[in-house]
Structure formats: C-alpha cells, structure tokens
Structure 1
C-alpha cells in the first residue's frame, strides 16, 4: 500500500505521465474509474482499445522489482500463459521514469485482459476449476523459469524490509518477534524447484479474469510477486475462495480448485505445514505496509482519509494481537 499522501486523485499528474504513451484524448473521461492502493491505476483508450496506466512514486518501489516483473510477464506470454500485455511508450520503453512537479515516478501501461473478474462471475464449478488450473500452470512455468537479467526479491528480502520499516516505529516488539519466528520456521523448510519459486502473491479473485470464449483465465497485477513457497499462492487463493463462497459450498469449490491445479502441477507435500506460516507471513507483511502508509498525519484531513486511517489503525490492532505465538 502506498503512503496515504499518494492516495489523492491527481489528474494533472496522471495526464503528464500518460502523455508518454499514445492515447485517445476523449478517453480521459475514464479517469473517474481510477483506483489507488499499491499503485495508481487509471483506465484510458488508444484507438478505441482499453488500456491501463499504472504508476507509483520512485520512493515507493524498487526499480529492479518492476524490471523483474516485466521480464517474468514476457516469459509467461512467450509460453502462452494468459497474462496482461505491457505497451511500449512513445520512446519504446515498457518502464518509464517520469519527472514531475510532484516528484519522480515509475510508470507502465498494460492492455486490458479479456473476460471478467472471477468475483463478478457466478463462480461455477467450471470457473473455479479453471481458476485452480491457472495457478497450477503458473507454478509449473515458474518452476522452469530462469531469470536472465534482474532477480525479483524473495521472502527473505521482504522480512528484512519489514524489520527495517518497523524499527522506525515505537512499540513494535511483538511484530519484531514475529519476524524471528517466521525466519526460523522458513529456514527449516527444504527448498526445491518443485516447491519454491516466483509466486504471484496476490492470486485472488480480483486479479484473475475468466474468459468465457476460451474457458480460461487471464492474470493481472504481478506487482507483489516474490520468491516463496508455492504454498503461499495456494493458501491465499483458498482463503479468498472461502471468503467469497457460502459455507455449505466451500468444500465442493475447494475440491474444484484443487482438481484444476492438479491438472498442471502437484500440490506440495508440506502444504498443511506451511499454511499457518504463510498466513502469518502475509499478515506481518501487510501490517508493516500499513504501518508505513499511515506513519504521517496532517491537520484537517478530508473525511475519506480520516475514515480510511481509522480502518487501517483498527486492522493494525487486530493483527498485532496474533503475533508472537510459536509455530
């Protein structure tokens, strides 16, 4: 999540950045459908085709991570995996660095993928099967992936970043202890090409689109990808599935998801062992991101920001209560 000061809808900034690409001037009306969280996302059109501008301040991102993300996406596309397509800028770049009156930004543009977000479908057994199949295929391709340029960060780098962030804030003893618990646990789990590799990390309903014409899924938003156990993606996908499924149907939908996954890749033998640790990793990482995001405060904040800050502060209190227990 970006720092709160970057969540404001800045149309002048967006237009300045977008001018690095070709676009239909009239489509700037689509900016009203923007979304800002880990990045600012603004839809627009070029020759009538919908595209998405994604940008974030340089201070919020690692250039090497974005470069590695784009390289992995290219690899997936080369292997016929349903994934978003980057669009080169007017100067032939997929990643553009932009200087603006509001600071320096990293920006990319992607074509909109076909289909509909899974959370907007009827979530039939066939769709959930396809959802699981897409994750299995992603992990199969990841297990064969060898980066040629820049390596994406790993869960180890994330924990180092989390510690660096939390040491800037008082009263973080429980969270800092949680880091050590997770470090010790993960260091005891064997890694292999079969169970460990580059994961999506946010393989949830809103990042996976189901295309009815091809009966297949397209995946977006690799911004949080990292090297981790494949169990990390499985756990988060199943947890999201459980949240979006009536209790009486979850077992059936879970079986559809697993069956789809197994058509492309094997479920890790130590999945159950990793599930709790992976959930706690996600909670700790999210906790640090929120803590960093809300670290600054200003007088006379707009109502929407006051409300958001309150929700985030409440979540921090909930999360910290679960830290520190043995695995």
Structure 2
C-alpha cells in the first residue's frame, strides 16, 4: 500500500479504508485532492476483465451518465501493477465523487425514481455497446459461483442452486432483455448529490438479464428489513418498485413478461448471496452474528421459503 501512495506522492496519513469485500478499496489525498484506489489480486482476475470494466465506465460517462471514472496517473495508464507482502496486484485510481447514501438522505420517492432512471439509462446504453478488442466483460455463466460452487454447501442447497441455474439457462436472450448489467447496484454503490445519482463499483458487471439487475436493487433495499416483518417488507417493496420503475421507464422499456420474473430473480439472488459469502469469506473468522445470519439463509433456502411473496406486478404495466 505504501508503495502506491509513494508513487502518487500522496499523503500516507490520509489513507482510509473504504471497504470492498476483501478490504481492497482505499481513499488517499494527493495534493489535497481525494482519490480512490482499488486493488485487484492478480490471482483472482485478469487484466482484460479490468480493462473491460473501465472501458464500460468511460462509455457510460461519455454518454451522459454520472459515474466514478478512472483517472490517468503514472505513465498515462489506467491499470498499474504492484507487488507487496508476497502478493501481486493490479490497481486502478478513480476520482472521488461527492454525495451521500440514500440511508443518509432518506428513502424518498424522488431519489428512488432517479435511481431507477439511472439504471434504465444504463440498460438502454448497453444495447449498442461493443467492448474494445483489449477488454472483455464476462457472461453470467462464467461467474466463479457457477463454475466452482463453494464446497461447504449441503447437498440440498446445491440441488436447489442447480435448479435455479438450469431455469436461467432456458431464458430467452434478446437485445431488449439481456446485456451488460451493473450486477451489484445496491444502495451502498450509489451516491445522491442534490438529487443527482452517481454510480460506482462496477467490478461485478457482466452480461445478464436486465430484469435481474432490477431485482438486485430491490433485493438489497428490502434486505435492511428483518425477514419476520413480512407485511412491512412487502409494503416497502411495492412502494420501492412503483417509484423505481417510474424512473426506469423514462429511459428504457422492458416487457412485462420480464417483470414477472422478479420474484424468481429475488430467490436466485438470495441463494447466490449465500454461496458468495461461503466462497469468499473464511467462516471460521467471522463473528457469531454472521454465522447465525448464514444459518438462517441456509434454512430458508433448504425449506424453499420465498425471499418475497405477493409483489404487486400489475402496478408496473
């Protein structure tokens, strides 16, 4: 870490961990201006995928979207390399965007509409996007959860997971329903600044169904509400989706048949999230609260309990 800060002539005392699933995202000041540094373990990715992500971000920016963009620095190259503590990393420097999370702003109707509008514009732009020859964006089927599920799962969970995957494989693909999605556009990957939406953290972007991207935003929005508060969860979900889709339809149209898949995609996201945590976290090093949460997730998956039931789909027509 110190090597990178020194190369930037940055202020090491200003270094601040922002997050990332593996504590891989930091903020640092260079000449009193803040930047974000994101690290990628070379053993877990390849340069082509990072290039594909950055090209996609720049394309969205060039077409009028508010996104956290990569910035040129050393040798006019977006992607740099560093070795430290026996590990080798790629790293990219992003501009530090200003704004607040929706939790801080309040879950207001206009903000949710703007969130939906931003996703609608992104999906519309995806329809005509072609990755550069030096960059690539993975397809959903290439995700490591699908190619190499975690070994800790029970046979029952694995069986249910395989059934979800088989259904998704059977879904039709068209320009209007399938393309590059953010794949993690939850409320902690969005800033609001005077009502404007700024998107960031495109590290999971992939080719997938637009309906799934919508479902991911809904999934994480209602994840804040305890599972035993079913009536409140459903009421919130209906209000959220009503406003989200009002904004979405300002920029992109989506057939009603795909909206009817949202409850399925919510269940798929639930089991995917469970498998993701098992694969990428050392469960033995986690606290009891997370272990209890994972046990609850496992039980619901094995019992076939829906993540959400009774969504008022007619309001989206």
TM-score range, shorter chain: 0.7 to 0.9
Secondary structure at 1:277 match in 2: helix
The partner residue of 1:181 within 143, 149, 163 is: 163
Partners of 2:305 and 2:167 lie apart in 1 by 9
Residue 244 (structure 1) shift: 5.5
Instruction: Name the residue aligned to 1:218.
Output: 198
73, 78, 86: which one pairs with 2:57? 73
Equivalence for 2:263: 276
Identify the range of structure 1 (287-296 vs 87-96) with the bigger mean alpha-carbon deviation. 287-296
Aligned residues of 2:185 and 2:216 also touching (Cα < 8 A): yes
Deviations for 1:167-221, whole angstroms, at most 9, x for unmatched residues? xx25542233234212321122111010101111111111111121xx4211000
- Residue 100 (structure 1) shift: 1.7
> What corresponds to 1:263 in structure 2?
250
Unaligned runs of 5+ in 1: 1-13, 298-304
Which residue of structure 1 aligns with residue 173 of structure 2?
A: 191
Asked if 1 retains the 8 angstrom alpha-carbon contact of 2:81 and 2:91, the reply is yes
Matched, 1:30 2:50: no
- Quote how far apart the aligned CAs of 1:323 are: 4.6
Relative to structure 1, the CA distance from residue 326 to residue 184 in structure 2 (aligned partners, 3 Å threshold; closer, same or farther) is: farther
Aligned-partner Cα distance in 2 for 1:197–1:157: 15
Q: Describe how 1:87-106 pairs up with structure 2 within 5 A.
A: 87-106=71-90
Q: 1:281 to 1:154 in 2, by over 3 A?
A: farther
Looking at structure 1, the residues matched to 122 and 302 of structure 2 have their Cα atoms a distance apart, in angstroms, of: 31
Matching residue within 37, 52, 55 for 2:36: 52
SS at match of 2:253: coil
Once residues 250 and 207 of structure 1 are traced to their aligned partners in structure 2, the CA distance between those partners, rounded to angstroms, is: 19
Q: Distance in 2 between matches of 1:208 and 1:296?
A: 28
Output one character per residue of 1:35-86: Cα deviation in whole Å (capped at 9) or x when no partner: 2424511111223221111113222334332221111011111111110110
**What does residue range 5-44 of structure 1 map to in structure 2 within 5 Å?**
14-23=1-10, 25=11, 28-44=12-28
User: Is the 8 Å Cα contact of residues 163 and 176 (structure 1) preserved in structure 2?
Assistant: no
TM-score by length of 2: 0.83
DSSP 3-state at the match of 1:16: helix
Q: Give the TM-score normalised by structure 1.
A: 0.80
Deviation by residue 1:100-138 (Cα, 9 ceiling, x = unmatched): 233101211111123222222123222221111111111
C-alpha separation between the residues in 2 aligned to 1:38 and 1:196?
A: 29
Cα offsets for 1:236-291 (capped at 9, x unmatched): 21233345687666544432221111100113322344223322332333233322
* Separation (CA, whole Å) in 1 of partners of 2:79 and 2:137: 15
Number of aligned pairs?
Answer: 297
Question: 1:235, 1:279 within 8 Å by CA — same for their partners in 2?
Answer: yes
* Structure 2 residue 145 is the aligned partner of structure 1 residue 154: no
Gaps of 5+ in 2: 226-231, 307-317
SS of the aligned residue for 2:14 comes to helix
